[in-house]
Amino acid sequence: VRFGHDDSAAAAESAADPFSAPNFLRNLLMQESRDDDVSKRHHKLAVIATHAVMLECGFVPFDKESNAVVSGFRSPLVWPTRRLFYTLPEKNTAHGKSIQNAVLEFRISGEYSVTVNGRLDMETEKVGNHSVQFKEDQLATFMNNVLVTDSNNTNGEEVNGGAVYRFWKRVKDNLVLPLLTELRQVSCYCQKLPVDLKVEILKWLSAVDLAKATCFCYELSSIASRDDYLWKIKFVQEFGDVDKDTSTEIDCRV
């Protein structure tokens, strides 16, 4: 893992790439953990990135003590607190009712691994517990992906944000969507489908229509441009099953 990355160079790069979640994460991480060691950076990355997926899917941060929505962006890293509360804007305005929350708990499960547990913050009803574990190697690849995006990085095959995409997909399908569904806040039937099932649908599209799906919205753009599995299928359909060694070297994504 390379750390001595220059911040201003990073800012310049991020301006060049409009779809760069890695660059955003990198800048945030640099601000947050200038002096931390590697394991702490791994933990913080898991927290910040999970937080970002929650916000992307419509959750807002919630302050349990003041019982109010936290307005504006605030970094979720008030260590050593590792519990984060969220609510949905609609739930917050329901007068007379207690505000429904989702709570995420981050547990460090080994020097470099993190487990995230998510559930609704309710005592009475039966609530599901959803959990995602990020192992050391996954977080390390993710970290690499975030910190090093320059194309002359020859040792990593992941210069295109593949690890970020996989992280996003896991958090969204296993944590965020189940929580949203339990809060019964999934109004749009398109949102109901987990990323995995969207991939199952998109794989039936022709390569041209799959590339066009990039234009629909951010989410489909990420899936259509980042999912290796999808593009491997399309590659094989167009060009036949070429030698494995060759196919791994060709970036067949659009």
173, two tokens: 């399908």
| Residue list 212-231, contact with another protein (CB under 8 A) | 212-218, 220-221
Strand partners for 134: 114
Which ranges constitute the DSSP H helices of 66-194?
A: 89-92, 136-147, 162-171, 177-182
Count other Cβ atoms within 10 Å, centred on residue 85.
20
**DSSP code string of 113-124:** -EEEEEEE--SS
**Would you count residue 188 as binding another protein (CB under 8 A)?**
yes
Q: Which stretch binds another protein (CB under 8 A): 6-14, 80-88, 113-121, 203-211?
A: 203-211
**Would you count residue 55 as binding another protein (CB under 8 A)?**
no
Binding map of another protein across residues 10-49, x = CB under 8 A, - = no contact: --------x-------------------------------
Q: Closest separation between CB of residue 27 and another protein, Å? A: 19
Count other Cβ atoms within 10 Å, centred on residue 36.
15
Q: Closest separation between CB of residue 18 and another protein, Å? A: 6
| Interacting residue with another protein among 123, 208, 229, 240 (CB under 8 A) | 208
Count other Cβ atoms within 10 Å, centred on residue 139.
23
Binding residues for another protein (CB under 8 A): 18, 188-190, 192-193, 197, 200-206, 208-209, 211-218, 220-221, 254
